[in-house]
Chains A and B, each alone.
Chain A
């Protein structure tokens, strides 16, 4: 049985919302990164569902791009976190407010 497109989009929206809330609320920067990954994957799901629904393949190709970018971004982001942790010994987002005006 083919999963109805609306169900997949709904799941995608819910996952995205969870990701957003996670970015805004969680204190541990690694968990924030996990939430960012969650948002990216929710968008991937949305792309694939719509591509399947239309029978086109371009949406599925975009997913490859998104995954690549997400991987690179995760690598860089984690490197930054490690560098920051070496200096400040904390992964608490509230304590990393150096740009406070």
Chain B
């Protein structure tokens, strides 16, 4: 590896500022006024340090990286692990997304959560999350990444169940944590297997540093590499909400909307994508695993898109949309386009955060209403929210020139060019459905007549500037954010792809493997997207009665989609209920009857034994004297007889 290594003194500040922000928020719990300033400030400072570091990196040679080694954490024989950070091309993109979008969401939260009675606790958790996420993306080895991985899982639990007084919220938090744990089990097994199988360095040292993995990945046997990759995929599926471990994400909408925007759209769920992109050398060794990854991504994308078609809660639609878009990213990873997946992470962060914050603005303006069927006509009353939401919708649908267009098209192009026609078709269908359901959401929320109660309708108002300014900034990013990754022969080409290439590799076969050229692909995808949007327009603006008629005519399909294919019920029956039954059995029989019975039984037996022997203790001295005499007689008899 001939990469230029620059030593930075400031990388540790990037996770440090949010950690300090967390401590301040904990100490100043009863002074929310202070916390509302320090928490966003901490993230802003992180962003600035990250920006300065990335600028320094960009000025260095291609493939360079900044590292900072804090101290040795584990030193066990030949194996060692340090608390060390790195910023290379991949983590540069991630850290800017995390801190930049994170800062905007912190500012937004000042407005959205400012009047909540536990506002300080919210910002404390949010800053703790930023700390863990930054550990994850800045870690120089797989163990620091894992610490961050677990940390964001914890914070996700804390934030989803933020309003824990409601049982449903607490249950959603638990569900997220437990499902994540299932994924983490796979991740940990993969991590162990990797540490076990990797060849040592020239001086006999073992480690899980990314540099070491990069250098020695080729030493893995194909079967081992496949197993490791599939185990790591289980972890990524849990964190990034792919089939079959996506079920926690829709429930996670029980948390406050800024949480949904930050964690479940822009950052935490992309951790799985980042992890696979980071370990791309391992995945690239196993064509089997790559095929599994690609198929999983495509299936998830389509599956979630179908569910989103009929959901009535504004946040649930966006949640399933997130699962679907993550499926696109996983699909990109599976066909070898690691850099493209990261590109989509970036554009998705912009427009999905925008959409979620916009939804939060709508919910705020509608006095807490989340049911789209009770909305409508908000276009005039909440203009800034409307226009930014429109930009977000256009971006996610893939309107030409906006952010989502370039990243999604690049994914589709790579899928097709690497010879996966069926996956390509699945992705195109999913993209069409995306356009449909997003425009459906837009029309139902902002167009037509308002369908809410009189009181609610009267109270509808635009959100304050502290909430709308981040929306506008994100809208601008959703428009221009895709311009860093233009197709190869357009203007300045794929700047982002070239920047990432030293870390993520060049995707195979940029040449056309099929009969369609890149321009044709773009045209097909865009046409379908426009068709989807137009269909939504017909359904929800022109002929409002049509959806109801169709849902009656196709009620089997409609009910299935509305009930999310009854997957939650299936998991409940297959996994949860038997587990609860076994636990109850263990509790009532094994614990109460057997173990407690045994322990109490021993005590009881000793007591009963004592009750027998205590009958000799009469308290009457003359009885004792008689026993004494008996003993003397026995001793004398012994000596006389002998």
Q: Which residues of A contact B (CB under 8 A)?
A: 20, 23-25, 32, 93-94, 96-101
Contacts and interface: CB of A to CB of B under 8 A. Distances in A.
Contacts of B620: 93-94, 97, 100
B609 interface: no
Q: Which of B614, B617, B619, B625 has the most CB of A within 10 A?
A: B619
Contacts, number: 30
A101 B625 contact: no
Contact of B621 (A25, A93, A101): A93
Interface string B588-629: 000000000000000000000000001011111110011001
B626 A97 contact: no
A24 B622 contact: yes
Contact of B629 (A20, A93, A96): A20
Contacts of A25: 622
A93 B622 contact: yes
Given A100-B620, A101-B618, A101-B619, 11 more contacts: A23-B622, A23-B625, A24-B626, A24-B629, A93-B620, A96-B619, A97-B620, A99-B617, A99-B619, A100-B619, A101-B617
A25 B626 CA distance: 10
Nearest to B610: A101
A98 B619 contact: yes
B253 to A, nearest CB: 69
A40 B565 CA distance: 102
A25 to B, nearest CB: 8
Interface string B620-642: 11100110010000000000000
Contact of A97 (B614, B616, B618, B629): B618
A23 to B, nearest CB: 6
Contacts of B619: 96-101
Contacts of A94: 620
Nearest to A25: B622
A32 B617 CA distance: 20
Contacts of A93: 620-622
Pairs A-B, 9 closest by C-beta atoms: A101-B617, A97-B619, A100-B619, A101-B614, A99-B619, A97-B620, A24-B626, A24-B622, A23-B625
Nearest to A101: B617
Contacts of B614: 101
A90 B247 CA distance: 84
Q: Which of A20, A96, A97 has the most CB of B within 10 A?
A: A97
Nearest to B611: A101
A84 to B, nearest CB: 12
15 contacts: A20-B629, A24-B622, A24-B625, A24-B626, A25-B622, A32-B622, A96-B619, A96-B621, A97-B618, A97-B620, A99-B617, A99-B619, A100-B619, A101-B614, A101-B618
Q: Chain B interface: which size bin?
A: 10 to 19
A94 B622 CA distance: 9
A93 B629 CA distance: 18
Contacts of A97: 618-620
Nearest to A32: B622
A35 to B, nearest CB: 10
A93 B625 CA distance: 12
A45 B618 CA distance: 35
B626 to A, nearest CB: 5
A93 B624 CA distance: 12
Contacts of A23: 622, 625
Nearest to A100: B619
Nearest to A98: B619
B598 to A, nearest CB: 28
Contacts of B629: 20, 24
A100 B620 CA distance: 7
Interface in B379-397: none
A13 to B, nearest CB: 13
Q: Which of B616, B620, B626, B629 has the most CB of A within 10 A?
A: B620
A14 B626 CA distance: 18
A61 to B, nearest CB: 26
A58 B453 CA distance: 121
B623 to A, nearest CB: 9
Contacts of B618: 97, 100-101
Contacts of A96: 619, 621
Nearest to A94: B620
A94 B618 CA distance: 10
Q: Which of B616, B622, B625 has the most CB of A within 10 A?
A: B622
Nearest to B626: A24
A1 B629 CA distance: 37
A100 B629 CA distance: 20
Contacts of A24: 622, 625-626, 629
A53 to B, nearest CB: 22
Nearest to B629: A20
B287 to A, nearest CB: 82
B206 to A, nearest CB: 67
A23 B622 CA distance: 7
Nearest to B614: A101
Contacts of B625: 23-24
Interface in B12-29: none
A59 B619 CA distance: 37
Contacts of A98: 619
A54 B22 CA distance: 101
A19 to B, nearest CB: 11
Contacts of A101: 614, 616-619
A25 B617 CA distance: 18
A96 B619 CA distance: 8
Contacts of A32: 622
B391 to A, nearest CB: 89
Nearest to B616: A101
A91 B344 CA distance: 102
A20 B628 CA distance: 11
Q: Which of B621, B625, B629 has the most CB of A within 10 A?
A: B621
A28 B91 CA distance: 99
Contacts of B626: 24
Interface in B541-588: none
Contacts of B616: 101
A100 B621 contact: no
Nearest to A20: B629
A11 to B, nearest CB: 20
A100 B623 CA distance: 11
A18 B455 CA distance: 110
Nearest to A29: B621
A32 to B, nearest CB: 8
Contacts of B617: 99-101
A98 B618 CA distance: 9
